[in-house]
Structure 1
Amino acid sequence: MKSNHKSGTAFMKEKNKRCVLRCVKEKGPISRSEVADQLQLSKPTVSALVEELLQENWLKEVGPGSAGLAGGRKPIQLLFNSRAAHVIGIDMGGTKVRAGICDLDGQLLAADEFPTQTQKKSLLKALKQNVENLLNQASLNPDDILGMGIGAPGMTDTERGVVIDAPSLNWTQYPLKKEAEALFPWPVMVDNDVNVAVLGEQWLGAAKGMDHVVLISIGTGVGCGMLINGQLYRGATWAAGEIGYMVTDMAKARCADLPPPHEGYGFLEQYVGGAGIVQSMKQELKDQPESLFPNHFSAKDVFQKAKDGDRAAGKVLDEVIDHIGFAAANMISIINPEVVLLGGGISRSADWFLPRIQKTIQDFAPVSAPVLPTALRENLGVVGAVSLVLRETESVLKEL
């Protein structure tokens, strides 16, 4: 019984300590007495917990604050110390790897990127050199790092830290966490890159504070991250969100004349992924030779040509936008989110086609939801990977 009492006391102290830290983080600058009033804790309890947090460098004192109506000594104010530790976020894509160091508020202190394909056989060694350069840029030491988060472009078993399948990197059952922790002196956490992205948007982006969010990322491939009741939904075998395999046109899916999907890519990706858009454009150009396209072009070029009034490009993208609209309507019908976010390279042209997607949703989904481009842009994966660490790490920051 005595042991249980001690255990219960320790649990309550830790819980109250986190509450104090969260209160200061959200409402600071704030005095000790104001924290006590906010949390309905005794002033001696709050003072003792604040002293511990000050010694551990999670809080800092500023001030004094403003005097009360009765005058008297102005209370010292408390602030969350966002530089108490730092987190490294890695956005590992099939085209490039972007790495960054953030403080605990998500402020980016240093960032850099390098091409994936030229470093494919020694990707983690290249990443190690990149991270060392970033530490130097930010004037930080390894001891200043709380952990590292990595978003990987494929199905990822987060419990084992294993990338089950990442076609763009030719990874199958790759033990990314184990390999990374052999090179770096801090904990490493890994997840699917789109899962990581939706965490970043919930923390600091277009879905800030929301609990029900769908993020559809369209680039080389197509992926989807989902927050349900504020938590990532990963599925029974870590395959939730693989909407690149979603069928958005049954007739075409059953058509024997169409080429089969590339290995590792699904029906939707064949039409809205970057390679699929280029392939559709090439097919269209065979029938419309008057269209002025360069010999080598990308999906980005197709969008620009369509905006400039090219009829062939416009026809191709009409179909692309229809597929995206039906995919979004399907996800809204299943998840009933507060918002649908569009990320990846396609999000740069979102303002041009979002009204059409919204119209498709209104026509085919039982309820509506706003569709917005992601807000964090090129640093979305980095900030999301940092958020992953802060959500999962076993420290006083847990559940902040």
Structure 2
Amino acid sequence: MKRNVTQPSQAEQLYSVGVDIGGTKIMILIANQAGDILYRKKVNTSGEFDVISGHITECLRAAAIPLDQVAAMGFGVPGIANSEEGTVIEAPALQWNHVPFRERMQRYFDKPIFVDNDVNCAALGERWLGSAQNLNDFVVVAIGTGVGSAIISNGSLVKGSNHMAGEVAYLVLEQDVLGNGANAFGDFGQFEKKISGVALSQYGTLPHELFEQYARGDEKAISIIQQFVSDLSIGIANMVSLLNPQKVILCGGVSQSLSSVLELIRETVSNLTPIPTTIELTSIGEEAGAIGAVALAFEKAGVIKRRGINNENAYRTQLP
């Protein structure tokens, strides 16, 4: 996959390691400044730093890339991260609470280490190599086991005062208020209980099977999926009205089943808000978070620039 970039000589080539630590899997990618992915590996998840660092070391060895050619390492985590301090505030799936992530990981690798929320990383991945190239305003909505989002506005990630911007799992609809629904940390949010993989699985069928049944005309599946589309579209429409993004990108495990209802989502959103936007599925799939972790590391290390419509030389190499 070649990019329109200035290519350094082989001797000058720099690499970044991107690690997307999920609730069930860890995706590890090694890429160069041009966005060429030289190595990829998916392993079972772990919250143990010994295990994570061991997998990274194995990947570098398998790719025949010496550590001195690694410019930086980026990590996406399923929780709340303070990217400036390099700490993970909370990642329940990994049983992490106020973990000094950068400090811990640098015990294994004497390299610049950067960490952020996994959906924020997915947004960076979409901007670098995915569906949001050359965009300064877009939203990524990740629908998997749970639900999250990332917001890029005026070319920058929106983090919020407590690093919690984009927690759309806690959006509420009228029925939540009428039903005395409450949102609390440690529990699925009200919006999440309607559109996540866990929410769809409550009907006794895996989410992708529900969408297959819907496509075949199964009446029960049609009722469930139509409600899903309605709830999701309301959430997207409110985000569009609030943020005026150029594009909304849907990613995550459930998004892989949305092609059959994507046009219906677009029509429903356009009926709910007069503000125009484009709604698409991710073009880089399950690797978005790891690709974004690579981009995070390269950006923060000053090796590549952010890509945006006001940055004509974005993502040209910046060799030391």
Same fold (TM over 0.5): yes
Match of 2:175 in 1: 251
3-state SS of 1:114 partner: strand
Q: CA deviation at 1:302?
A: 2.2
Residue type matched to 1:366 in 2?
P
3-state SS of 1:241 partner: coil
Alignment of 1:4-83 (within 5 A): 26=4, 59-60=8-9
Match of 2:198 in 1: 275
Instruction: Check 1:27–1:219 CA distance in 2 against 1; reply closer, same or farther (3 A cut).
Output: closer
Q: CA deviation at 1:309?
A: 2.7
- For residues 259 and 228 of structure 1, the distance between their equivalents in structure 2, rounded to whole angstroms, comes to 29
Alpha-carbon deviations, 1:16-59, whole Å to 9, x = none?
xxxxxxxxx9575xxxxxxxxxxxxxxxxxxxxxxxxxxxxx73
3-state SS of 1:216 partner: strand
Match of 2:223 in 1: 315
Count of residues in Structure 1 that have an aligned counterpart in Structure 2: 305
Return the match for 2:98 from 155, 161, 173. 173
Residue type matched to 2:117 in 1?
N
Contact 2:183/2:189 (8 A) holds in 1: no
- For residues 115 and 309 of structure 1, the distance between their equivalents in structure 2, rounded to whole angstroms, comes to 36
Match of 2:152 in 1: 227
- For residues 253 and 115 of structure 1, the distance between their equivalents in structure 2, rounded to whole angstroms, comes to 39
- For residues 384 and 142 of structure 1, the distance between their equivalents in structure 2, rounded to whole angstroms, comes to 20
Alignment of 1:102-113 (within 5 A): 102-113=31-42
- For residues 226 and 185 of structure 2, the distance between their equivalents in structure 1, rounded to whole angstroms, comes to 23
Match of 2:15 in 1: 86
3-state SS of 1:87 partner: strand
Greater relative contact order (CA < 8 Å, ≥ 6 in sequence): 2
Match of 2:233 in 1: 325
Match of 2:310 in 1: none
Match of 1:306 in 2: 214
Q: Which runs of 5+ in 1 are unaligned?
A: 1-24, 29-57, 61-80, 283-296
Residue type matched to 2:108 in 1?
L
- For residues 203 and 391 of structure 1, the distance between their equivalents in structure 2, rounded to whole angstroms, comes to 10
3-state SS of 2:163 partner: coil
Alignment of 1:275-294 (within 5 A): 275-279=198-202, 281-282=203-204
- For residues 390 and 174 of structure 1, the distance between their equivalents in structure 2, rounded to whole angstroms, comes to 23
Instruction: Check 1:89–1:27 CA distance in 2 against 1; reply closer, same or farther (3 A cut).
Output: closer
| TM-score w.r.t. length of structure 1 | 0.72
3-state SS of 1:143 partner: helix
Q: CA deviation at 1:207?
A: 0.9
3-state SS of 1:146 partner: strand
Return the match for 1:146 from 40, 47, 71. 71
Match of 2:117 in 1: 192
Match of 1:364 in 2: 272
Compare the two structures and name the one with the higher helix fraction.
1
Alpha-carbon deviations, 1:366-398, whole Å to 9, x = none?
312110001111221111111111211145x45
Q: CA deviation at 1:170?
A: 2.5
- For residues 171 and 314 of structure 1, the distance between their equivalents in structure 2, rounded to whole angstroms, comes to 39
Instruction: Check 1:125–1:253 CA distance in 2 against 1; reply closer, same or farther (3 A cut).
Output: farther
Return the match for 2:188 from 265, 270, 273. 265
Instruction: Check 1:268–1:392 CA distance in 2 against 1; reply closer, same or farther (3 A cut).
Output: same
Q: CA deviation at 1:298?
A: 2.5
| TM-score w.r.t. length of structure 2 | 0.88
- For residues 152 and 74 of structure 2, the distance between their equivalents in structure 1, rounded to whole angstroms, comes to 18
**Residue 209 of structure 2 is aligned to residue 209 of structure 1:** no
Residue type matched to 1:374 in 2?
T
- For residues 26 and 313 of structure 1, the distance between their equivalents in structure 2, rounded to whole angstroms, comes to 45
Residue type matched to 2:134 in 1?
G
**Residue 251 of structure 2 is aligned to residue 343 of structure 1:** yes
Contact 1:210/1:338 (8 A) holds in 2: yes
Match of 1:42 in 2: none
Q: Which runs of 5+ in 2 are unaligned?
A: 307-314, 316-320
Q: CA deviation at 1:82?
A: 9.9
Contact 2:90/2:96 (8 A) holds in 1: yes
- For residues 37 and 218 of structure 2, the distance between their equivalents in structure 1, rounded to whole angstroms, comes to 40
Q: CA deviation at 1:134?
A: 1.1
Residue type matched to 1:250 in 2?
E
Q: CA RMSD in A?
A: 2.2
Alpha-carbon deviations, 1:195-234, whole Å to 9, x = none?
1111111111111111001110010111111111111111
Match of 1:136 in 2: 61
Instruction: Check 1:26–1:274 CA distance in 2 against 1; reply closer, same or farther (3 A cut).
Output: closer
Return the match for 1:386 from 278, 282, 294. 294
Instruction: Check 1:102–1:251 CA distance in 2 against 1; reply closer, same or farther (3 A cut).
Output: same
Residue type matched to 1:88 in 2?
V
